[in-house]
Amino acid sequence: MNFLAKMKKHPGGQYLCFRDDLGTEGCLGKIVLEYHKTALELKVETYGKDAADLSLINYHKIAALYICAFLKYQPFYFDECAPKKFETCLYTRLANEYFIIAFLEAIFKGWNDDFDAVLSLDPEFKIRFIKYLYRYKQNIALLDPVSFSEILNFIEQKYFHRTK
* Helices 30-47/59-73 angle, 10° precision: 130
Domain coverage including residue 142: 2-18+27-162
Separation of alpha carbons 130 and 113, rounded Å: 26
- For the stretch 117-150, pLDDT in tens is 889 999 999 999 999 999 999 999 999 999 999 9
List the helix and strand counts (H, then E) for the chain: 7, 4
- Reported pTM: 0.87
| Count of domains observed in the chain | 1
How far is residue 52's CA from residue 58's CA, in Å, rounded to a whole number? Answer: 14
What average pLDDT is seen over the chain?
89
What are the beta bridge partners of residue 117? Answer: 162
